[in-house]
Amino acid sequence: MSDRILDKILDKAVAGQRITVSEGCELLASCELVALGRAAEAVSRRLHPEPYRTYNIDRNINYTNICAAACSFCAFYRAPNSHDGYLLSRDVLLDKIAETVERGGNQILLQGGLHPTLPLEWYEDLLRDIRQHYPQVNVHGFSPPEIHHFTRMSRLPLRTVLERLRDVGLGSIPGGGAEILVDRVRRQIAPGKVLTDDWLNVMRVWHQLGGRSSATMMFGHVETLEDRIAHLERLRQLQDETGGFTAFIGWTFQPDHTAMSHVPHASPATYLRTQAVARLYLDNFPNIQSSWVTQGLKIGQLGMLFGANDMGSLMLEENVVAEAGTVHFLTLEQIRAAITELGFTPRQRNVFYELVGREQELRAVEANRAVAAT
């Protein structure tokens, strides 16, 4: 692609005009990483002229690692009847939430595997217990593959399942399990999971019920560049329809300790290029989150100059990526410093990208500073 054509596409995106599928593919294939980053940053600043950039404090609680899906890219799952399988007791799970609250968190990310025996009532009881003990904590829970699994286990319509979960405390839905929203890819790496239309329909119905959710993409495995754009296109179409997505988060596949360990690690440049193109392509998504969890501090920070306006979560606990051998740990002070170094004021938000009060934010800073000092 010539520089003139690239500049024309980038100028179009920066001006707020929608780029096409073919133009998105041209951008992903471009070697002009700096130009992509500059354009994505311009779009981010147009959408977010405020002098701050955000982060969140939450905890990823995996209530079970038992999963019948057996995805080839996953190092975390254990087969049913595995001696390494677990199901968290209610007391342990509530203790994890208590620690999150003590550290200034206002949300938990609650996910597990496709457990072959747990009924819908088990999940309802779990949500009731959480709401009873911690009504101030938002449960960002159960990815679309899990919820689709609940419909099969309960033999109830999707809308009914979502209404029942919402009524006992489900606050929002994470975008997990999207991987690549192209059925050919999904059949290859996750044959036991929902296909594209079912994943999207869980989000569609949740949005129709007034719920909000995030969207994700895991890339850098067997997909093509065209598949990545097809994924973004399906998300953009659904956002046009419902407006229910709060943010997009992309991350690279972590192959170690998986059945796909032969796949080479995607480079930081691949991550930054893909995130920049996502910012340019997803013109109807208000927020892009950087993924320091998979990329580490410096690339996570650099991602804030490649279209992201959010540094992600402190994430007091993370298990899935860690099982694949990728372990990055940041303190709250490091996250805030990374934002400050870029010339922005760090501000804590909730899952809906609303700023928390200054007093609550400062209490969280002090609580985490005390923990870091021990």
pLDDT of amino acid 325: 47
pLDDT at 3 (0 to 100)? 79
Distance CA 229, CA 227 (A): 5
Report the residue count for the chain: 374
What pLDDT is stored for residue 315 in this prediction? 74
- Output the pLDDT for position 324: 46
Tens digits of per-residue pLDDT, 128-187? 999 999 999 999 999 999 999 999 999 999 999 999 999 999 999 999 999 999 999 999
* Domain of 360, in residue numbers: 3-373
pLDDT beneath 70: ranges in the chain: 1, 317-328
Residue type at 351 in one-letter notation: V
Question: What is the number of structural domains in the chain?
Answer: 1
CATH assignment of the domain containing 89: 3.20.20.70
116-130 burial code (b ≥16 CB/10 A, e <16) = eebebeebbebbebb
Task: Give, in degrees to the nearest 5, the angle at Cα 66 between 144 and 89.
Answer: 100
Cα–Cα distance measured from residue 73 to residue 76, given in angstroms and rounded to the nearest whole number = 9
